[in-house]
Amino acid sequence: MRRLINDGQNVVNEWIEGYTSAFNEYVEQDPDNPGVILGKHIADKHVKIIIGGGSGHEPLFPGYIGKNLADASVAGNINTSPSPQAVYEAIKKVDTGEGVLMLYGNYSGDCMNFDMAAEMAEDEGHKVDSLPITDDVFSAKNVSDRRGVAGDLIVIKAAAAAAAQGKNLAEVKAAAEMANRQTHSMGMALSSETNPLTGKEVFTMEEGDMEIGMGIHGEPGIKREKLKSADEVVSEMTDYILADMKTDENTQVYVILNGLGGLPLMDQFICYRKLAQILQEHKIKVYHALVGNYATSMDMIGMSITLAQLTPELQELLDFPCDAPYWRV
């Protein structure tokens, strides 16, 4: 195993301890619920945004807790949804009466557990709503069946900006839904991630192979094939994403070229170069770009491309100032 950890059984609590220690100006670990990370700003009165999912995608989720961004995150075990009880406790801690919107990737475990938490909290009078994020265009034909990947960032940012602007719960949810509709992603990988509990790869991928369309937990892609050039890979992925979008000569996109954890930033820039060329050929304007490890799969070597097609509203929400450890606008 090429991981630098202690006992694999303790990784989740230890990474959260490390995170909350490093960024204690922004967050604290809930002493009653180790998987819950609370923003230091949660006394602010507005609709609150809770995000979360399995561990192993850092800096997603807690990296995006901060002023005008998310208010709390709830972490489960590696690639495993947090418990309903933990999410419920987070709701109770952050709700100042204006209600709570929960955002998470559209995975069955997350949907089930966040929903149960919402029911528990609603029984006690909290207003709670939720949106499973569905940006991975390759994961299903029906948008509502798709998984959430790095597009999470766009949806979280838009919803949190709307909340910070004082919008009510229905309006904040509408902003999140709009952002989710506009956001289209696709991933690829050259390797598995290493599960710290077993010390082994989650699945086997030979050196020199790759899989376009693969999900962040190793969900199957198009096919296992020999590694192509960065330009060919980016072209193929961008074709899939653009086929899912209605674009014209006025289209502007907010781009995330996201590293999955083990891919060097050098390679990410090389991929971004081709992506920018393709978008220019399609007369699509890049409004802003992020390049780096924003939503990872631990040490998985791979990347994803996210294109968020801007509306005037989405542009304004993405430009709204925010301040979190891994995203500042």
Instruction: Give the catalytic positions in this structure.
Output: 57, 217
Alpha helices in the chain (DSSP H): 11-22, 84-94, 108-123, 152-164, 169-182, 230-243, 265-281, 312-319
Site stretch for a second copy (CB under 8 A), options 46-54, 93-101, 107-115, 287-295 = 287-295
d(CA 266, CA 276): 15
C-alpha closest to that of 309 among 178, 138, 176, 134: 178
Site stretch for a second copy (CB under 8 A), options 132-140, 246-254, 268-276, 305-313 = 268-276
Residue ranges in 10-29 that form contacts with a second copy under rule CB under 8 A: 11, 14-19, 21-23
Size of the site for a second copy (CB under 8 A): 61
Distance of CA 83 to the CA centre of its chain: 19
Exactly one of 284, 299, 306, 317 binds a second copy (CB under 8 A); that residue is 299
Pairing of strands 200-201, 194-195: antiparallel
CB 185 within 8 A of CB 136: yes
Site stretch for a second copy (CB under 8 A), options 151-159, 171-179, 217-225, 286-294 = 286-294
**120 versus 241: smaller Cβ distance to a second copy:** 241
- The answer to whether residue 231 forms part of the interface with a second copy (CB under 8 A) is yes
3-state secondary structure of 305: strand
Exactly one of 201, 289, 319, 320 binds a second copy (CB under 8 A); that residue is 289
- The answer to whether residue 283 forms part of the interface with a second copy (CB under 8 A) is no
**73 versus 268: smaller Cβ distance to a second copy:** 268
Give per-residue burial for 158-174: e unless 16+ CB within 10 Å, then b.
Answer: bbbbbbbbebebeebbb
Exactly one of 49, 50, 72, 303 binds a second copy (CB under 8 A); that residue is 303
- The answer to whether residue 321 forms part of the interface with a second copy (CB under 8 A) is no
Residue ranges in 59-78 that form contacts with a second copy under rule CB under 8 A: 59
In the chain, the amino acid numbered 242 is L
Rg of the chain on CA atoms, in Å: 19
- The answer to whether residue 3 forms part of the interface with a second copy (CB under 8 A) is yes
d(CA 107, CA 249): 35
**88 versus 327: smaller Cβ distance to a second copy:** 327
